[in-house]
Amino acid sequence: MKRAAVNACPILSKAKKISSGKGSGNADSELNARILKEGSVKTKTFRKDDSVSLIQQDPVNDRAEHFCHFYGKDSPFSNFQPDKFVLDGVQYNCSEQYMMYQKAKLFNDEEEANNILKATDPFEMKRCGRRVKGFENDVWYKYCVGIVKKGVKAKFKQNPHLEKALIDTFPRILAEATPRGPLWGIGLGLSDPLIRNRNTWRGENWLGYLLTDVRNQIMEEKGMFSSVASGTQDADKGCN
């Protein structure tokens, strides 16, 4: 069943608009060969189109090698993963805390905002977020992707080991493999064979597409993209 328009991933929509003008069919055979051989394309400079082409290709051509699936707080890509970062003068111990705090602030619930900052367990932060007074889905959907993107980007830029792990996923699409994630994840667990193709996903993968976009932004800011890339090296850290 097709979800309502409000559930369409803004990050994915943006990625589809930045095409170099080529069709959205299968990723080029040279790229597929490199991914199959080494797991990913790794050099001092990279082609941004290698990532964009995977996002834009017809999902019928998806293969397991095109994705970096992750789940759980031990993954550097999870919002529950504990690493501190500072934004606007406030220190957070994970990106879930930032997300829930900003949710409470958006709806002017100072009580839950303070509770979220005091919490040390991501599950407690999420519970506090669910208690936010005056919450409206439509308002949250309007701002949540931008909020989470800002927090996630700060987390990776302020923690070099996490930033490296994120860059090491290039050019693959990140995908949060949680069966309980109809919006932020793919709606399927890591052991489910259906995770290998977007046509069989049961979730929108907002977090995964957001992380893919943040990774490409960070690499662009570091001057890591060029028009041509050559050579490879393995990089499967954090992916399943």
In the three-class reduction of DSSP (H, G, I as helix; E, B as strand; rest coil), residue 63 is classed as: coil
Q: Do the strands 90-92 and 173-176 form a parallel or antiparallel pair, or are they unpaired?
A: unpaired
Q: Is residue 234 part of a domain?
A: no
Residue 22, CA atoms < 13 Å, CB-side half-sphere: 15
Peptide bond into 171 cis (omega under 30): yes
What tens-digit pLDDT sequence spans the chain (240 residues)? 334 334 555 555 555 443 333 444 444 455 555 544 444 444 468 999 999 999 999 999 999 999 999 999 999 999 999 999 999 999 999 999 999 999 999 999 999 999 999 999 999 999 999 999 999 999 999 999 999 999 999 999 999 999 999 999 999 999 999 998 799 999 999 999 999 999 999 999 999 999 999 999 999 999 999 865 443 334 455 687
In one-letter notation, the amino acid at residue 50 is: D
State residue 95's pLDDT score: 98
State residue 2's pLDDT score: 36
Give me 227's structure tokens: 């028009």
Q: Is residue 181 part of a domain?
A: yes
Alpha-carbon gap, residue 218 to 168, rounded angstroms: 12
Cβ burial 136-153 (10 Å sphere, 16+ → b, else e): eeeeebeebbebbbbbbb
Q: Indicate if 72 and 103 belong to the same structural domain.
A: no
- Considering only the C-alpha atoms of the chain, give the largest distance between any 2 of them, rounded to a whole number of Å: 55
Give the residue from 118, 137, 154 where a domain finishes: 154
Q: Indicate if 168 and 123 belong to the same structural domain.
A: no
Alpha-carbon gap, residue 128 to 47, rounded angstroms: 42
Q: Is residue 114 part of a domain?
A: yes
Peptide bond into 160 cis (omega under 30): no
Place of tokens 């977007």: 198
Nearest-CA neighbor of 219 among 17, 46, 15? 46
State residue 3's pLDDT score: 41
Q: Is residue 50 part of a domain?
A: yes
State residue 5's pLDDT score: 36
Give the residue from 128, 154, 180 where a domain finishes: 154
Give me 114's structure tokens: 């303070």
In one-letter notation, the amino acid at residue 233 is: Q
Q: Indicate if 193 and 215 belong to the same structural domain.
A: yes
Q: Indicate if 150 and 92 belong to the same structural domain.
A: yes
Q: Indicate if 74 and 97 belong to the same structural domain.
A: no
Q: Is residue 179 part of a domain?
A: yes
Q: Indicate if 89 and 144 belong to the same structural domain.
A: yes
What's the DSSP call for residue 152? H
State residue 239's pLDDT score: 80
Q: Is residue 36 part of a domain?
A: yes
Give the residue from 104, 126, 154 where a domain finishes: 154
Cα 146 to Cα 9, 99, 211, 214, 226: the distances in Å are 11, 10, 12, 11, 27
In the three-class reduction of DSSP (H, G, I as helix; E, B as strand; rest coil), residue 173 is classed as: strand
Alpha-carbon gap, residue 200 to 55, rounded angstroms: 15
pTM of the shown model: 0.81
Q: Indicate if 176 and 75 belong to the same structural domain.
A: yes
Q: Indicate if 68 and 169 belong to the same structural domain.
A: yes
Q: Indicate if 130 and 164 belong to the same structural domain.
A: no
State residue 240's pLDDT score: 77
Q: Indicate if 144 and 89 belong to the same structural domain.
A: yes
Q: Indicate if 210 and 165 belong to the same structural domain.
A: yes
The answer to whether the CB of 194 falls within 8 A of the CB of 14 is no
Where in the sequence is the domain holding 91, given as residue range(s)?
85-154
CA angle 39, 34, 74 (to 5 degrees): 15
Tell me how many domains the chain contains: 2
Q: Is residue 136 part of a domain?
A: yes
Q: Indicate if 112 and 215 belong to the same structural domain.
A: no
